[in-house]
Every structure is written in structure tokens, then in C-alpha cells.
């Protein structure tokens, strides 16, 4: 078959439309090919929980292992893949930063220095251009773990308990994820300006 070891972890929101995700991935692949003629889409193997074991299964036995062990298991899985595609529905007020699994995934990636690339659906490509001031960047990247949710309340409770157990509060995760988002948002803004200049 065409299966192979994953080299990209797709971090996304479960209630994104499938067509939106596929369009975003196609747009990303086309952009990679446009900027790098040696890029081979067949070399990209995506770990996507839509097709494999969902992350929530890591939490099913969480009462039988300490939070540190749970974090280590997920961290090792993400490190083994080595790179993360962060799929946002839009740059400002994205659903992504309101979902606890997404925030946790981005936190682990940032902590482990795993390369992150933002993937956007074509309809949202222009949204980066709307972020022009420091205040707008900060607003777009504000993270609030306390109010982040999950489709399953058990997931939400377990991840938040893990964070509090390990770090004492949500502050470290909020700050780490916000800094990672700043970098990605500014890169999107740079790309948007470069695209306009090339027209």
C-alpha cells in the first residue's frame, strides 16, 4: 500500500468540515511546490487522528497513570513524527485556540522545539493581512486554557488536571502557546505581504 512512517502531525479541530481540511492541505502542498521545485508531495505522510487512534484514547486510562506519564506518552508520539501542521480555520478568533487538545498539542510541540507550520484553507489566506498592529497580533493569539473545551468533557478535565498537576496553573501553557502563535502569525503576515508584492 501507500502507508509509511508519518513525518507530519496534523493538529486540527474535529468539527472542521472535511472539505475545509482537504482544501487547506492541498493549498499547503501547492504552495510548497511553488516555492520549492524539489518538493515531492508523495514524500509527505500525515498522522491524522481522523484515520488512526484518536488522542482521547490516551486519556481513557489516565486514572491508572500519573499526568506526567500521560504527557510523556503523547510527547514521544509527537516527537517521533517530528513536524506539526497546525490547521487554523482563520487567523483571528480561530476555533483552534479554543480547543484544549489543540492547545495541548501546540504546547508540547513548542516545548519540544518541534517545527510547526500553519496551514490555512484558501478562504482564510487573506485573514493574515488583517492583522496589522501589535494589539491585533496579541488579540489573535490570546489563549485561555481555563475556558478551552473538548468534545468530550472527560478529555477537558483530564488535560486540565494534567496541566495543573505538572505546572501548578494554566499560566505556563497559556504563555508558551501564545508565544508560539505570535511567531506563526507574524510569519503568515510576512508571507501575505510577500504574495502581494509578487503580484
Give the pLDDT confidence of 126-161 residue by residue, as tens digits. Answer: 777 778 888 988 998 999 999 999 888 877 888 899
Beta strand 116-119 with 8-11 is unpaired
Q: What are 57-66's pLDDT values in tens digits?
A: 555 555 555 5
Residue pair 85/28 in contact by the 8 Å Cβ criterion: yes
Question: Is the torsion defined by CA of 96, 5, 56, 160 positive or negative?
Answer: negative
Amino acid 88: pLDDT: 94
Give the per-residue pLDDT at 149. Answer: 95
- pLDDT of 49 over the 90 cut: no
Could you give the 3-state DSSP secondary structure of residue 10? strand
Measured in Å, how far apart are the chain's first and last C-alpha atoms? 41
For 153-186, b/e burial (b = at least 16 CB within 10 A) is eebbebbbebbeeeeeebeebbebbbebbeebbe
CA angle 177, 135, 175 (to 5 degrees): 20
CA distances from 95 to 90, 142, 168, 188 (A): 8, 12, 26, 17
Beta bridge partners of 184: none
Per-residue pLDDT tens for 66-125? 556 666 667 788 889 999 999 999 988 899 999 998 999 999 999 999 999 999 998 887
Global confidence as pTM: 0.85
Amino acid at each position: 500500500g501507500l502507508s509509511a512512517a508519518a513525518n507530519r502531525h496534523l493538529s486540527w479541530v474535529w468539527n472542521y468540515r472535511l472539505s475545509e481540511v482537504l482544501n487547506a492541505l492541498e493549498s499547503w502542498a501547492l504552495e510548497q511546490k511553488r516555492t520549492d521545485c524539489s518538493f515531492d508531495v508523495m514524500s509527505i505522510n500525515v498522522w491524522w487522528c481522523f484515520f488512526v487512534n484518536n488522542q482521547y484514547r490516551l486519556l481513557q486510562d489516565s486514572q491508572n497513570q500519573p499526568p506526567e506519564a500521560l504527557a510523556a506518552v503523547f510527547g514521544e508520539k509527537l516527537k517521533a513524527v517530528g513536524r506539526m501542521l497546525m490547521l487554523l480555520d482563520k487567523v483571528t478568533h480561530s476555533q483552534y485556540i479554543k480547543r484544549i487538545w489543540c492547545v495541548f498539542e501546540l504546547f508540547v510541540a513548542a516545548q519540544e522545539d518541534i517545527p510547526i507550520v500553519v496551514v490555512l484553507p484558501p478562504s482564510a489566506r487573506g485573514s493574515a493581512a488583517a492583522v496589522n498592529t501589535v494589539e491585533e497580533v496579541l488579540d489573535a493569539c490570546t489563549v485561555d486554557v481555563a475556558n478551552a473545551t473538548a468534545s468530550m468533557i472527560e478529555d477537558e478535565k483530564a488535560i486540565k488536571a494534567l496541566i495543573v498537576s505538572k505546572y501548578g496553573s494554566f499560566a505556563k501553557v497559556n504563555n508558551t502557546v501564545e508565544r508560539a502563535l505570535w511567531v506563526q502569525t507574524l510569519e503568515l503576515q510576512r508571507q501575505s505581504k510577500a504574495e502581494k508584492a509578487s503580484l
